[in-house]
Amino acid sequence: NAGVTQTPKFRVLKTGQSMTLLCAQDMNHEYMYWYRQDPGMGLRLIHYSVGEGTTAKGEVPDGYNVSRLKKQNFLLGLESAAPSQTSVYFCASRTAGATERSRTEAFFGQGTRLTVV
Amino acid sequence: AQTVTQSQPEMSVQEAETVTLSCTYDTSESDYYLFWYKQPPSRQMILVIRQEAYKQQNATENRFSVNFQKAAKSFSLKISDSQLGDAAMYFCAYRTSIQGAQKLVFGQGTRLTINP
C-alpha cells in the first residue's frame, strides 16, 4: 500500500542548480498537486493537474515547472534554484471518484526537504 | 480568494485534558468542505476530521470533534482526553472548487504540545 511516494526525501542544492522532484501515486487518482510548506505560512499550492497531460498554476508558481506525462506521475522542476525555494515540498493526489466523500480526501506524500545554499 | 486563519501559533495542554484549536476562514461560497490535518514530526499529513458546510451537525471522530459556526465562519477543533501521540502541528484547511480541481487552502498551523 504505497499511496503517494515522493523522491527524493532530502536534497541540498547550490544556487543556480536544477533538479526534479518526482511524485508517484498508485491509486489511479486523476488530480495531483504540489505544495510547499514554509514556517508560519502553512501549505501553499504551487501547481496542480486535473489529468494526464494537463497542468495549471497554483498560488505560488514562479520558479517552478511541472509535467504530467503519465497519470501516475507528477514532476516538479526547478530550473535554477534560489535560496527562497528552500522549503518542504508535498505532493498530494485525489480521486474524481463516484462518491462525494471519496472525492473530498486528499492523500499526501511524506514530503521532500529541499535546501538551497 | 478564500483565506484560512489560525491565530494560535502554539498551544499546550496537560495529558488527559481537553484543548481547542481555533480556525476562521473567509469565503463567498455557500457550499464547501473544511478539514483538520495533523502533521507529526514524521511530516506525514494525516486527515483528522472533515465537515461539510451544508451539514449543521458538527463532525466527530472519536476524541476529535469540531465546532462549526457557518455564519461566523469559524471551525474549531476540540481534542478530548489529550494523549502524548496528539502532539503535532495541526492545519485547518478549506476546499475550494475551481474548474473541478477543488484545491485545498491551508491555515498557518498550530503547534500542539502535550505535557505529561
Measured over the CA atoms of residue B13, residue B23, residue B54 and residue B51, the dihedral's sign is: negative
A87: amino acid identity, one letter: S
Q: Can you give the pLDDT at residue B63?
A: 97
Q: Residue A64: is its pLDDT beyond 70?
A: yes
Contacts of A33 in chain B (CB under 8 A): 103-104
Sign of CA dihedral B114, A40, A115, A45: positive
User: Cα torsion for A57, A62, A68, A73, to the nearest 10°?
Assistant: -110
C-alpha to C-alpha distances, B51 to A101, B47, B57, B60, nearest whole angstrom: 11, 12, 9, 9
Averaged pLDDT for residues A37-48? 93
* Nearest CB to A42 within list B33, B50, B109: B109
Question: Phi then psi for A21, rounded to 5 degrees?
Answer: -95, 135
Q: Considering only CB atoms, which chain A residues are within 8 Å of B101?
A: 31, 48, 50, 56
Indicate if the pLDDT at residue A44 is higher than 90: yes
pLDDT attached to residue B103: 85
Query: B33 and A104: CB-CB below 8 Å?
Result: yes
Check CB contact under 8 Å for B104 and A43. yes
Is the model's pLDDT at A19 over the cut of 60?
yes
For the domain made up of A4-116, give the CATH fold: Immunoglobulin-like (2.60.40)
Please give, one letter per residue, the 3-state secondary structure of A44-90: EEEEEEEECCEEEECCCCCCCEEECCCCCEEEEEECCCCHHHCEEEE
Q: For residues A66 and A22, give the distance between their C-alpha atoms in angstroms, rounded to a whole number.
A: 10
Cα separations in angstroms, B21 against A94, B48, B69, B77, B98: 26, 13, 14, 5, 28
A chain contacts of residue B99, beta-carbon cutoff 8 Å: 50, 56
CATH H-level superfamily of B3-115 = Immunoglobulins (2.60.40.10)
Whether A98 shows a pLDDT value over 70: the answer reads: no
pLDDT less than 50: residues of chain B: none
Instruction: Give me A93's grid cell.
Output: 493526489
